[in-house]
Amino acid sequence: MAVYTDVADEELSAFIDQYQIGRLLSFKGIAEGVENSNFLVHTQTGHFILTLYEKRVDPADLPFFLHLLNHLASKDISCPVPVPDKTGTLLGTLAERPAALVTFLDGMWVKRPKPVHCEQLGQTMARMHLAAADFDMRRANALDLAGWRPLFEKCADRADEVHPGLSDLVVRELDHLEAAWPDDLPRGIIHADLFPDNVFFLGEELSGLIDFYFACSDQLAYDIAICLNAWCFETDLSFNITKARALLNGYGKVRSLSRREYDSLPTLARGAALRFLLTRLYDWLSVPEGALVTPKDPMEYVKKLRFHQTVGTASAYGLSP
Amino acid sequence: MAVYTDVADEELSAFIDQYQIGRLLSFKGIAEGVENSNFLVHTQTGHFILTLYEKRVDPADLPFFLHLLNHLASKDISCPVPVPDKTGTLLGTLAERPAALVTFLDGMWVKRPKPVHCEQLGQTMARMHLAAADFDMRRANALDLAGWRPLFEKCADRADEVHPGLSDLVVRELDHLEAAWPDDLPRGIIHADLFPDNVFFLGEELSGLIDFYFACSDQLAYDIAICLNAWCFETDLSFNITKARALLNGYGKVRSLSRREYDSLPTLARGAALRFLLTRLYDWLSVPEGALVTPKDPMEYVKKLRFHQTVGTASAYGLSP
């Protein structure tokens, strides 16, 4: 949870006046999100989310994110839709930060996803991949294979403080992935952070995707691999093959996986586990003593990585090609 | 800001099902309030605030607060209105805490109030005092004159850590107030915490009062004295007589102050300053090292108290009787 930035009344009113959304009626900080400050805005014309982008988001990336949301919404993917100001601009400035106003999306994230949620997620992810096929902007994945070793080198000397032998585990995994990583799979725009808290449901119906601030150009199947990690482990870190099957089955109903994509899933899943292991390790070791935010435990992804290392073929994830 | 309690999906849905407000569509923690956990709830029939009462609120007091809101709303005082569940009950249980659902109130609190806001506040406070006159429940003020010395005694030995001479200042003020405090002024229900963040405006129009969790039976003019402290000092702690005059003028348009009440204002304002000085001092000295919440600085109220000590008669607050 986080609201980092305090907004002065007059400045807020002046900002809202730049939009054709009627008079400001209410403004409340939301205790969600750790990267940006989010506010619920009620005006005479409806409810909106106002996001102030804090320092972890590169302002140069914001046009990509906002235009992507616009593009996806135009193709009936349910997501927050940026509201243009009176001059047609999507990105504004408030409290000396880049700021954007998006439509409010109903739905709640599911803390304990069931197979039916995984099936819905698979379908919607595939629809999103197809919908973004003709989106004409690109953004490199800063956290792809090429980025993992440099990230690890920033914290390699302290990795064993978190867990004895962790440094060795990561080095061997990097060696393996640098040799085995596919680079010829179908590419496109991926969300790259489709964790349960970024997927809204109304009951068992998926109502929308949010938080596209890691979206980038990459191999599409890598997005699936991230979800296998984020959705298909139980809280005791056992792997739930029923959920994995539902996820892949849902995806396949909308977009068929090629044989190459299917066969690459275990490698992609190892990579996805390592990517979240590394960012969590970095955050864990970087957080100052007494900080307000507790970083997420990197050991969760060490255990997930170890599971994927035992997977011989993609059939272990519950589907035949 | 605070959301202390995490609520499980299924438990939340079951809770909302107890009310006739339609299906749950959205649920977001609000980064406001330091005493309780507040959530914005959107259902098919509208927007609501769900409050989980954390340990600083005595559950035995909750019926008083909720019935008071109901009573005030029935008399056209704009405030959050408790929503009864299907059995007509105002107070429920969620996540092992007392919980209540109230209507959503538009408006925003004003960080830098102008005289026009003080005038509106005065009028609405007087309307609230009159509207509560026939409310039949009572609640003692736990932080009245009788409560201040015992509260101070809990932190007396460390008061001078905050400011040299503070202990002596408080003891002398307690002696003075115990001798000078009036006890024959008109009584009724007071809000007792009408700080700017508990008063919503739409532009220059007051749109509602919130956070009645200090409301109690006391001398009505003491509520005015709290507002003189909370609304009429500038950020440099100079006293703005124009705001004080606007506050008293607004109040007087709705309910006339008696001569006794008027003459007692300097004493009541000293007491109000001491009350907030003491609770802030206690919180300041009680907060654990490295706590998430920064307590409010007691020195602000030391300075306000010193101002009131220089006030000879109520005319210093800008009005003639």
- Give me chain B's average pLDDT, please: 93
Range name among A61-65, A200-204, B104-108, B284-288 with the lowest pLDDT average: B284-288
Q: Is A106 on the interface with B (CB under 8 A)?
A: yes
What is the pLDDT at residue A55? 80
pLDDT, residue A312, reads: 83
Burial class of residue B277 (count of CB atoms within 10 Å of its CB; 0-12, 13-18, 19+): buried
CB pairs under 8 A between A and B: 70
Q: What is the least distance, in Å, from the CA of B192 to any CA of chain A?
A: 24
B97-103: strand order across its sheet? B24-29, B37-43, B46-52, B97-103, B92-94
- pLDDT-derived band at A295 (thresholds 50, 70, 90) equals confident
Question: Per-residue pLDDT for A260 more than 90?
Answer: yes
Q: For residue A211, what pLDDT is reported?
A: 94
Q: What CATH fold (topology level) applies to the domain B115-317?
A: Aminoglycoside 3'-phosphotransferase; Chain: A, domain 2 (3.90.1200)
| Nearest chain A alpha carbon to B28 | A30
Q: Residue B3 has what pLDDT? A: 57
pLDDT of A319 above 80? no
Phi, psi (5° rounding) for residue A116? -60, -35
Determine the distance in angstroms separating the CA of A27 from the nearest CA of chain B, rounded to an integer. 6
Q: Residues near B55 by Cβ (< 8 Å), separated by ≥ 6?
A: none
Q: Which of B15, B25, B104, B109 to mutate to test the interface with A (most CBs of A within 10 A)?
A: B25
Distance from CA of A283 to the nearest CA of B (A): 19
Cβ–Cβ gap A30/B26 under 8 Å: no
Q: Report how far residue A2's alpha carbon sits from residue A29's, in angstroms, rounded to the nearest whole number.
A: 8
Residue of A nearest to B12 (CA): A108
| pLDDT at residue B1 tops 50 | no
Query: By the 8 A CB rule, do A27 and A14 touch?
Result: no
Confidence of residue A1 (pLDDT cuts 50, 70, 90): very low
Cα B311 to its chain centre, rounded Å, is 24
Predicted confidence at residue A218, as pLDDT, reads 98
Minimum distance, in Å, between the CA of residue B146 and any CA atom of chain A: 37
The pLDDT, as a whole number, for residue B293 is 65
Mean pLDDT of A250-272: 96
Average pLDDT over residues A312-320: 81
Q: How far is residue A112's CA from residue A8's CA, in Å, rounded to a whole number?
A: 38
Answer whether B202 touches A (CB < 8 Å). Answer: yes
Name the B residues in 131-190 with CB < 8 Å from any A CB: none
pLDDT at A316: 82
Are B182 and B264 in contact by the 8 Å Cβ rule? The answer is yes
Average pLDDT of every residue of chain A: 93
Check if the beta carbon of residue A282 is closer than 8 Å to that of residue A150.
no
What per-residue confidence (pLDDT) applies to B7? Answer: 83
Per-residue confidence band for A120, with pLDDT thresholds at 50, 70 and 90: very high
The confidence score (pLDDT) of residue A290 equals 63
Per-residue pLDDT at A3? 57
Q: Please tell me the predicted confidence (pLDDT) of residue B289.
A: 65
Contact B98, B62 (CB under 8 A): yes
Bridge partners of residue A184, in order along the sequence = none
Please name the residues between 247 and 306 in chain A that touch chain B, using a CB distance below 8 Å: 290, 292
Q: Does A29 touch chain B (CB under 8 A)?
A: yes
Interface test with B, best of A44, A108, A204 (most B CBs within 10 A): A108
Does residue A320 register a pLDDT over 90?
no
Yes or no, beta carbons of B111 and A26 under 8 Å apart: no
Torsion, CA B284, CA B286, CA B289, CA B295, rounded to 10:
-30
* Spatial contact of B30 and B39, defined as CB atoms under 8 Å apart: yes
Positions of E strands within A142-258: 187-190, 199-202, 205-209, 216-219
Residue A169, pLDDT above cutoff 50? yes
Least confident piece of the model among A41-45, A68-72, B4-8:
B4-8
pTM over 0.90: no
The Cα angle at residue B30 between residues B28 and B36, in degrees rounded to 5: 115
Domain ranges of chain A: 9-103, 115-317
CA A122 centroid distance within chain: 14
Cα–Cα distance between A27 and A30 in angstroms, integer?
10
**pLDDT (average), residues A58-75:** 96
B201-240 tens-digit pLDDT: 998 999 999 999 999 999 999 999 999 999 999 999 999 9
Among A27, A107, A112, beta carbon nearest to B26: A107
Q: What is the mean pLDDT of residues A221-247?
A: 96
Chain B nearest-CA distance from A287, in A, is: 14
Q: B9 and A106: CB-CB below 8 Å?
A: no
Cβ neighbours of A291 in B, within 8 Å:
none
- pLDDT computed for residue B55 by the predictor: 80
- CATH code for the part of the protein at A9-103: 3.30.200.20
- The Cα–Cα gap between B285 and B282 comes to 5
The answer to whether residues A264 and A182 touch, using CB atoms and an 8 Å cutoff, is yes
Contact status of B42 with chain A (Cβ, < 8 Å) = yes
Whether the Cβ atoms of residue A311 and residue A268 lie closer than 8 Å to each other: no
Q: Which residues of A touch B23 (CB under 8 A)?
A: 202
Query: d(Cα B24, Cα A79) in Å, to the nearest integer?
Result: 19
Long-range contacts of B316-319 (CB under 8 A, 24+ apart): B316/B241, B316/B266, B317/B228, B317/B232, B317/B241, B317/B244, B317/B245, B317/B248, B317/B265, B317/B266, B317/B269, B318/B241, B318/B242, B318/B244, B318/B245, B318/B248, B319/B244, B319/B245, B319/B248, B319/B249, B319/B252, B319/B262
Count the Cβ atoms, other than its own, within 10 Å of residue B102.
22
Give Cα B119 distance to the centre of its chain.
18
Whose structure tokens read 């006890």? B183
Whether residues B107 and A292 touch (CB distance < 8 A) is answered with no
Residue A312 Cα, gap to closest chain B Cα (Å):
36
Interhelix angle A299-309/A166-180, rounded to 10 degrees, is 50
- Please, how many CA atoms are within 13 Å of residue B83, restricted to the half-sphere of its CB? 24
Contact B26 A106 (CB under 8 A): yes
Question: A230 is written with which tokens?
Answer: 């984020």
Helix (H, G, I), strand (E, B) or coil at A296: coil
Which of B23, B27, B111 lies at the smallest CB-CB distance from A8? Answer: B111
Cα–Cα dist A56/A34, whole Å: 10
Q: Kindly tell me if the per-residue pLDDT of B10 is higher than 90.
A: no
pLDDT at A138 over 80: yes
pLDDT score of A71 more than 50:
yes
